[in-house]
A and B are shown apart, each in its own frame.
Chain A
Amino acid sequence: GESVGLHLPTLSVQEGDNSIINCAYSNSASDYFIWYKQESGKGPQFIIDIRSNMDKRQGQRVTVLLNKTVKHLSLQIAATQPGDSAVYFCAENSKAAGNKLTFGGGTRVLVKP
């Protein structure tokens, strides 16, 4: 199967601090990107998305940044809370490449009280 960035790094963050999760994608034709949060025993939960005609999008406490020049995506979480502890996945989609989501390997975020 295909995948993007297959590894599971861990980010430890102090409660109240901001978190930045990074993702490198490989397909320059990708035109839609999504960040998901997955808690233990649950399915991935949609957080925020961004299309390739944008470079920044904000949601509630989250911001996604897209840098198409270096094929990099990041998720910023403001004032990280214990409930933010989970594995975060980026996913990319390209209509030209078959219109199916390709997922990164994920980043585990641990929030320390």
Chain B
Amino acid sequence: KAGVTQTPRYLIKTRGQQVTLSCSPISGHRSVSWYQQTPGQGLQFLFEYFSETQRNKGNFPGRFSGRQFSNSRSEMNVSTLELGDSALYLCASSLWDSNTEAFFGQGTRLTVV
């Protein structure tokens, strides 16, 4: 059974640009959550999608958005990139929600210059 797949693995963007990251969950999993990991703030919850609907949201500005498709694949978008957005962005998939086992992908390392 394939694990959680995130693409791309690495990205370098310039301040002010926007970026889209992709996540393919484990087959059969319907919940996809996104997290930002930085050395200073640790792992922080961005949002969760279930059945194409955002079900939960963390404390991030509106520049961070996401969506989920009918096949449960999810994308997150960050607009007007800032230097502080440099981080490892992780996607986790669960069968139903965060109260069940959540499995992470390898992450996308975003560097904003």
Interface residues of A (CB under 8 A from B): 1-3, 6, 31-32, 34, 36, 41-46, 49, 89, 91, 93, 95, 98-106
Contacts and interface: CB of A to CB of B under 8 A. Distances in A.
A46 B103 contact: yes
Contact of A103 (B42, B97, B103, B107): B42
A6 to B, nearest CB: 6
A90 to B, nearest CB: 11
Q: Majority SS of interface residues in chain A? A: loop
Contact of A46 (B33, B42, B102): B102
Interface in B77-108: 90, 92, 97-99, 101-107
Interface residues of B, number: 28
A43 B48 contact: no
Given A1-B44, A93-B99, 18 more contacts: A1-B36, A3-B42, A3-B43, A42-B106, A43-B4, A43-B90, A43-B107, A46-B103, A89-B43, A99-B56, A99-B97, A100-B48, A100-B58, A101-B33, A101-B45, A101-B98, A103-B35, A106-B42
A64 to B, nearest CB: 13
